[in-house]
Amino acid sequence: MSTPVLVIGEALVDIVAPAAKTTRNGNGKSKAIPGGFAANVAVGLARMGVPTELVARFGTDPYGDLLGSHLFGNGVQLAPGTVDPGSRTSTATATLDSDGVATYKFDMTWDPPELSLTRGCPAIHTGSIAMMLEPGATAIREFLKSVADQPVTVTLDPNARPAITPDPVVAWSAVRELAALSDLVKLSDEDCEFFRPGVSLDDIAEELLTADRTQCVVITRGGHGALGVGRDVRVEVPAPVIEVVDTVGAGDSLMAALITGLLARGLLGERRLAGLTSEDLRDVVDYAVKAAAITCTRHGADPPTAAEHTEKWGS
C-alpha cells in the first residue's frame, strides 16, 4: 500500500443547529456530527481512495467515541497520540441560516501529538484553527520548516475563523508565514475578504505566489465556482447548479478532491506541482468544485466517495 497523505489539524464534533426555516416548521433539533477541518479532509481523501493518516487530538469521552468510530469506519489511519484519554473532545456549534450557510462557535484546545514525516509521504495538509491556536500552531510551523527540504508537497487551507483570530492583520501574517512553506494554498472568497478586505482575488493570489515555494493558489467563490492561479496559468471554473441543503464541510470536501486530483496526475511528492499545466489545473479544480457541490446537497460534513462523484458527474 502507498504511503498515506498526512493531514494535521482539528478533529471535533459539530453541534449543528437547524436553519431558521427548519425551526419555524417545528423540526428544529441540534445534531452531533463528527467534523473538524482536518478530520473532514481526511475522510474526504479516504472516501476518494487515498490512503490517509490524521494527526489530531481527541478524547475517549462520548464525543471522542463518535469521532473515532467515524474516522475508523471511513478508513482513516490515526497517528499515535491522536486518541488521548486525558483530553476532552472539542466541539463547534454550527448555526445554519435560511440558505444553509453555517457560522461557528468553538470550544476547543489544540495540542497535537509529536509530528513526524514518513518516508514516501506524498503530501502534508494543514490549516484552519490548527495553524492559529497555540500551542499547536507553533508545532505545525516548526514541523513544516523541518521538512522544507524533503520530497513532499505541502498544501494549506487557512480557513479564516474570526472567532479564534479576530485581528485580520495578525491572522494574515500567520497565513503568509505558513503559505511560504506551502506549495498550494486554498482559500475562499470569504477568507480573502476577512484577511485582505477590499483586495481583489487575483491580487491576493499574486501576493501569495511571490513566495519561492508556492506554486498554486485556489480561491473558491461559493455558487460561482473557483479560481485557480499558478505561476503561468489561470483558470476559472463554474459551479454546477444544485439545491443547497447546507454548506458544512463543503470547503473540506473540495480540498480533499484537489489533493486527490493532483495525486492522480503525479504532481505531488517531490514534484511539488512542477509542470502544472492549465489543463491539469482546470480539470483538478473542476473535479474539486463538483465534490463540494455534492456535499452541499447533504446535511453536515459528508464528502462524496469517488464512485458517487463519478455517478453524479461522470469521469
Q: Is residue 198 part of a domain?
A: yes
**pTM for this predicted structure:** 0.93
Domain-located, residue 30 = yes
Q: Tell me, what's the pLDDT at 165?
A: 87
pLDDT reported for residue 1: 58
User: Is 73 part of any domain?
Assistant: yes
Whether the predicted pLDDT of 210 surpasses 50: yes
**pLDDT, position 19:** 61
Whether 314 is covered by a domain: the verdict is no
Confirm whether 276 is domain-assigned.
yes
Q: Compute how many other C-beta atoms are within 10 angstroms of the C-beta atom of residue 196.
A: 18
Q: What does the pLDDT read at residue 22? A: 45
Range of 177's domain? 5-307
CATH number at residue 257: 3.40.1190.20
62-99 burial code (b ≥16 CB/10 A, e <16): ebbebbbebbeebebebbeebbbeebbbbbbbbbbeee
Q: pLDDT value at position 27?
A: 53
pLDDT of residue 18: 67
For residue 212, the number of C-alpha atoms closer than 13 Å in the C-beta half-sphere is 2
The arithmetic mean of pLDDT across residues 214-231, rounded, is 96
pLDDT digit string, tens, across residues 11-32: 999 887 766 554 444 456 788 8
pLDDT in tens, 54-83: 999 999 999 999 999 999 999 999 999 999
Model confidence at 276: pLDDT above 90: yes
pLDDT of residue 23: 43
Instruction: Note the maximum CA span of the chain.
Output: 56
Number of domains composing the chain: 1
Whether residue 117 lies inside any domain: the answer is yes
Dihedral-angle region of residue 138 (phi above 0 means left; psi in -120 to 50 means alpha; beta otherwise)? alpha
Share of the chain above pLDDT 90, in %: 81
Structural domain contains residue 313? no
Confidence of residue 146 (pLDDT cuts 50, 70, 90): very high
Residue 315 falls within a domain, yes or no? no
